[in-house]
Amino acid sequence: MEKIVLQAQRRTLERTAKALRREGYLPAVMYGAHFPSTPILLDAHNAGLKLAKVSSSTLVYIELDGETHAALVREKQRDYIKNRLLHVDFQVVSLTEKIRTTVSLHFEGVSPAVKDYNGVVVTSLDEVEVEALPQDLPERIVVDLSKLARIGDTIHVRDLEVAKGVKVLNDPDEVVVVVSTTTEEVEAPAEGELSEPEVIERGKKEEEVE
């Protein structure tokens, strides 16, 4: 992914956020373990374009007062009616200290169990928590569905493929995805997990008999 660099300036509290937005600015804040909470301003149009597809594990670089700071986006407040950002929280990170964050799972491929046995691929997780140096954080973790050959085949957290230096913190035995004959046959998730499994792929329905 192309390196994301944002030009920022310090924000004084003399003017309201609403007034600043009218002038084309995006209010934001930078903070970190070794960085004091600092209100900043970004160009709203430029920041909106660059942050559109940024995830919680995407490293961005903020230039402020002649210095460049590596940061992660921790929160984005958005006006969904006008489709614009209202405020962004950035966590300034050290490139020499490991951090924890969530990374989304991306499902690819076609399960042979779907084609050959009319199976249903059901997901139990759509993201996992990882620990790594900021520059080693993956944008996403790919899950290969083509490995699910038969009904009952399962991919667990321990089966996820991640780069060296990246540690997945979820329970290794936790189910990521399973092939079932119907969604009802999937074991109900424990409290705190997804309330309903998500069906992401299924085989052709049998033709109805008239």
**What are the DSSP E strand ranges found in the chain?**
4-10, 25-32, 35-43, 59-64, 67-79, 84-92, 99-108, 120-123, 127-132, 140-144, 154-156, 167-168, 175-180, 198-202
- Tell me which CATH code domain 99-202 carries: 2.170.120.20
Q: Are 132 and 99 in contact (CB under 8 A)?
A: yes
Helix (H, G, I), strand (E, B) or coil at 17: helix
Instruction: Count CB atoms within 10 A of the CB of residue 72.
Output: 21
State if pTM tops 0.85: no
Q: Tokens in use for 208?
A: 């109805």
Residue-wise pLDDT for 52-61, tens only, equals 889 889 999 9
Residue-wise pLDDT for 148-173, tens only, equals 999 999 999 999 999 999 999 999 99
Q: What class is the 4-92 domain?
A: mainly beta
Residue spans of the domains in the chain: they are 4-92, 99-202
Q: Which of 167, 189, 177, 194 is nearest to 113 (CA)?
A: 177
The yes-or-no verdict on residue 205 having pLDDT over 60 is no
Q: Which of 57, 30, 55 is nearest to 41 (CA)?
A: 30
Instruction: Give the strand pairing for 59-64 and 4-10.
Output: parallel
